[in-house]
Amino acid sequence: MDFSLPESAQAVQRGIADICSRYDMAYWERCEAEKRWPEEVWAELAKGGWLGLAVPEEYGGAGQGLLELAVATETLSASGSAGGSAFTYVLTPGFGAMTLSRHGSAEQKAELLPKLATGEIETCFALTEPDAGSNSLAISTFARRDGSDYVVNGQKIWITGVQRATWMLLVTRTIPAAEARPRTAGMTVFLVNVPEAVAAGRLSYRPIPKMGANTTPSNMVFIDDLRVPASAILGELDAGAAVLWDVLNPERILLGASALGGAEVALRTGVGYAKEREVFGRPIGSNQAIAFPLAQVKARIELARLMLYKAAWSFDNNLPCAAEANIAKLAASQAAWEAADAAFQTHGGMAYSLEYPVARLLADARIGRIAPVTEELLLNYIATQVLGLPRSF
């Protein structure tokens, strides 16, 4: 068994780290405080070809897999962007480019993939609704057939990155949830041109004030008699669940990678302070009460990374990866939270000062235990699908 990262992934690590070396923690602090997209980093990622990492070479990308995308996300996150990088980086190279590469029609791929690879266009992913988050199959946004078109009505919540997106992967029902047999039937994913839908007055959005990850706004989205052609279906009519699984497993792996990077930066910050800060005439890190939580976090990070890379490798090799993706996401999010909490405690009163980064790291780490899937739902999956325990719902 070979545990070394393939050269392709090591090259990604080096390339992204090189860009990140020009943007320190203070840069990410400013982006968060000013609620602004990290334009400079984004431009460098585009220029270096890193946005097309998982786009097939024939469409102008690097033809790499989920493992390389995960390593890129982790590296970006570990550089200081922490949880925010999930939204900065993953929305377009992950949700958009990877999904289109697997499920797009020949026309969709030819039109969109080259532009996704260069960053000329961006994507967002719209699944969650006010009454359907964990129970995503219960969505009610409906696409009604009208001649050769579909007319969509509904409401979405928490949709991140709508402001910059040219295209939205919009998850709808084409068979109402109550009538779908099995429950996964009757889902259809549409590619919606956001600026056009907004200009036509058929789609509007409103940012939700949030406690972190403010480099990318998350929004309420309202869809009102939005007309889309059948050619905008991504994948097959009524069989959108197949597309959805290919978004949701990579999403768990990539946001797990982002959490892992967040854990690394929190640990680094905590260890740095534990070495510098002297109380009772010695560095606080010499107290086991400070050192052990940090050491525990180090162990959790290493364990989570093994599972995360295994999950990504399984996906790239078309092997079942749902159990691995769920376990990796759980482990990485918990590592991120413990790391941020340990760094916070290590900083004593200064943790509460916004002059130090640990409050931001704590807020970013907290998202991972909720989105894109809650810890409880991950545990439900492991309990029922891996251990075979009876379902409670």
Ligand X SMILES: Cc1cc2nc3c(=O)[nH]c(=O)nc-3n(C[C@H](O)[C@H](O)[C@H](O)COP(=O)(O)OP(=O)(O)OC[C@H]3O[C@@H](n4cnc5c(N)ncnc54)[C@H](O)[C@@H]3O)c2cc1C
- Report the interface residues with ligand X, using CB under 6 A: 125-128, 133-134, 158-160, 210, 213, 218, 367, 370-374, 376-377, 380, 393
Least distance from ligand X to the Cβ atom of residue 49, Å = 25
Neighbours of 255 (CB within 10 A): 27
Extended strands (E) in 23-89: none
**Residue 386: C-alpha distances to residues 322, 323, 327, 331, 391 (Å):** 10, 7, 10, 16, 12
Residue at shortest CB range from ligand X: 133
CA atoms of 151 and 327, how far apart (whole Å): 38
Least distance from ligand X to the Cβ atom of residue 393, Å = 4
The tokens of 112 are what? 């969109």
124 bridge partner residues: 168
Neighbours of 282 (CB within 10 A): 9
Least distance from ligand X to the Cβ atom of residue 65, Å = 23
Closer of 248 and 260 to ligand X (Cβ): 248
Closer of 9 and 243 to ligand X (Cβ): 243
Contact status, residue 190 vs residue 234, Cβ threshold 8 Å:
yes
Closer of 5 and 383 to ligand X (Cβ): 383
Least distance from ligand X to the Cβ atom of residue 337, Å = 14
Closer of 115 and 210 to ligand X (Cβ): 210
Least distance from ligand X to the Cβ atom of residue 374, Å = 3
Least distance from ligand X to the Cβ atom of residue 143, Å = 16
Closer of 133 and 285 to ligand X (Cβ): 133
Closer of 138 and 242 to ligand X (Cβ): 138
* DSSP strand pairing (142-146 vs 123-126): unpaired
Residues sharing a CB contact under 8 Å with residue 199, sequence separation 6 or more, in sequence order: none
Q: What is the DSSP letter of 223?
A: E
Among 167, 161, 40, residue whose Cα is nearest residue 97: 167
Closer of 50 and 125 to ligand X (Cβ): 125
Least distance from ligand X to the Cβ atom of residue 269, Å = 22
Least distance from ligand X to the Cβ atom of residue 210, Å = 6
CA atoms of 251 and 94, how far apart (whole Å): 7
Closer of 234 and 367 to ligand X (Cβ): 367
CA atoms of 61 and 96, how far apart (whole Å): 13
Least distance from ligand X to the Cβ atom of residue 42, Å = 17
**Residue 264: C-alpha distances to residues 76, 216, 260, 330, 354 (Å):** 11, 22, 6, 16, 20
Closer of 282 and 391 to ligand X (Cβ): 391
Contact status, residue 98 vs residue 54, Cβ threshold 8 Å:
yes
Read off φ and ψ for residue 191, nearest 5 degrees.
-95, 115
Contact status, residue 361 vs residue 266, Cβ threshold 8 Å:
yes
The tokens of 276 are what? 């510098």
